[in-house]
Structure 1
Amino acid sequence: MTIQIEYETERKLEIPYEKLAEKVASHILELEECPYEISVNLVITDNEEIRKVNAEFRLIDAPTDVLSFPMIPFEKPADYSVIDEKDEYFDLDTDELLLGDVMISVDRVYSQAQEYGHSIEREFSFLFAHSMLHLLGYDHMTPEEAAVMEKKQAKALDDLGITR
């Protein structure tokens, strides 16, 4: 598994975010029975930059906590049959499945951790778990979909001992 991290803000995320990202991604992939080694790009940024990207791609001119850009058009969440060994979904040098890109705002990690009364580690891990599920085809456009995602996020974080 490769998580390529690009840190593009001066505000420091003073937690072991590399290890947390690997731990969370690995467990989500295990729970979702992913049969491939994967690659994910993670951009750690600030509210201003995530606002620009949110405006460009979602037409919402406001900062958000996390954005996910899946590479694979899953028809059903974590249904890997859509991949069918298609070269365009793999890094040809490493044979890793290219799941997509994640962007997390450090500013929102800090403010939401305070707002929800839990640790910075828990907030970062929650946002990354949420994004990993999006990269695997999960969404929360309906109450039913939201309930599925929330249950999966909670299980993954509980299993890892990353609690509120």
Structure 2
Amino acid sequence: MINFNYETDFNLENEEAFTDWLSAVIVSEKKNEGEINYIFCDDEYLHKINVEYLNHDTLTDIISFDYTVGNELNGDIFVSIERVEDNAKDFNVSFDEELKRVLAHGILHYCGYKDKTDKDAELMRSKEDEKIIMFHVKR
């Protein structure tokens, strides 16, 4: 079950389309869908989590807490809408595309993909691109 929660004024349009897409992303990685909670928030909210739980005094676009058990993906994915907006401008892409990239990124972490090394980050970016394309494919 994929849930969307809001700690800011943002509201995801067409939650059903995003839920269907994220479920398909999980299946495409041969994983099972458990309970995944997306929490949309602002920079301040996510910064507090970053400092308190990860001891990182920086802004970030996404923090995911992975509670996956075996092949069943479970977790909480916090997304700063302010960072997504800024990143979209920085990368010269639409807000919608950058949001999809971030949403897929969290799921891909749960699937075991990393992004700390250049090689891992390259694979992660490739997987994000692959999953974004899936959003536009009719199922």
Q: Tell me, yes or no, if structure 1 residue 138 matches structure 2 residue 113.
A: yes
Q: Write out per-residue CA displacement over residues 110-157 of structure 1, whole angstroms, 9 at most, x where no aligned residue.
A: 222222222221111100000111122221122222222111111111
Distance 2:116 2:87 in 1: 22
Letter aligned with residue 27 of structure 2: E
Normalised to the residue count of structure 1, the TM-score between the two structures is 0.73
Normalised to the residue count of structure 2, the TM-score between the two structures is 0.85
Query: For structure 1, which segment, 19-28 or 112-121, has the greater mean C-alpha deviation from structure 2 after superposition?
Result: 19-28
Alpha carbons 2:105, 2:128 under 8 Å: kept: yes
**Residue aligned with 2:2, SS:** strand
Structure 2, unaligned runs of 5 or more: none
Structure 1, unaligned runs of 5 or more: 74-82, 85-96
Letter aligned with residue 28 of structure 1: V
Alpha carbons 1:24, 1:128 under 8 Å: kept: no
Among 38, 41, 46, the alignment partner of 2:42 is 46
**Residue aligned with 2:99, SS:** helix
Task: List, as ranges, runs of 4+ consecutive aligned residues in structure 1 with deviation greater than 4 Å.
Answer: none
Question: Which residue does 2:59 correspond to in 1?
Answer: 63
Question: Which residue does 2:79 correspond to in 1?
Answer: 104
Distance 2:111 2:56 in 1: 23
Q: Write out per-residue CA displacement over residues 18-74 of structure 1, whole angstroms, 9 at most, x where no aligned residue.
A: 24531441232122012x34220111100001000011122111221011111127x
Q: What is the root-mean-square deviation in Å for CA atoms of aligned residues?
A: 2.2
Distance 1:63 1:18 in 2: 26
Alpha carbons 1:47, 1:63 under 8 Å: kept: yes
Identity %: 28
**Cα gap change, 1:116/1:99 in structure 2, threshold over 3 Å: closer, same or farther?**
same
Greater CA radius of gyration, 1 or 2?
Answer: 1
